[in-house]
Structure 1
């Protein structure tokens, strides 16, 4: 959440060049993401409260399952696409054009954004997804429920990543 809060208050380190085109929208989106992450942290902490055992587990764990699947698949897809981009397959990432920057400046800025994503942001997505998955896994009491959680999450990550690959293959523009 620290990075999103930094961006929400106007920080620019690590932002892709196109974010400068819409600073108000970038800040608003990061305020929203920061709020969602605070709610997510409180949700995980609520699993420790004794009253959490009186609520159906699917109701408590569904948001964590979705968040974990999205975060891990984001990391997997991001590592693949940014690695391809840095390896010379520039079509793997669709960085928007920034009219204020020349071609060489934009290429350098996009390269740096890909490096930041690969070395900083995608590992953060992976860690966040794994920690959410582990928190929910720990909440489950039986080995059967833990196996079901693990396999369903792995399947969701695979399907979301495959969906992203299909969108990229057909050159559809979408973001998760």
Structure 2
């Protein structure tokens, strides 16, 4: 192959191959590529406990991983193993990933001005390069809703919603515990 688009952990392996040259990485466009958990709106509406369980589990793991010591290393070693990486490689990958370690950080970012600026750039890039479909006549064909209720694009065709309800519940300790 002449070109490949990838991310860690595969990237770390590919970079060790003789003759490989990295042309670009996401550190040059901070905030434009977000690692997100995306859930269908109907699922969120019909099964809010599902979202609460996911968010609760996520921030339990984030809390553990952000600590130092054997418990954090054991958790990260297990994740590294499942990624076919060593613990040191896994930690190196984390150093190149902007993480929202706390629900406060995630909520603050989603409610802040930067996300709107970045998503506007991303949607314009997608339109310019035909990624919104061949029939897209405008960058506004798709709507993006933010936590404050503002919408970029078509308010009748909202396809991406930044919903902070569940991280806000995690922040205030209001996630329901257990499955019932």
**What interval of TM-score do these two structures reach, taking the shorter chain for normalisation?**
0.3 to 0.5
Q: TM-score scaled by structure 2?
A: 0.33
Higher relative contact order (CA 8 A, sep 6+): 1
- Greater helix fraction, Structure 1 or Structure 2: 1
TM-score by length of 1: 0.34
Normalized per residue, which structure has more strand?
2
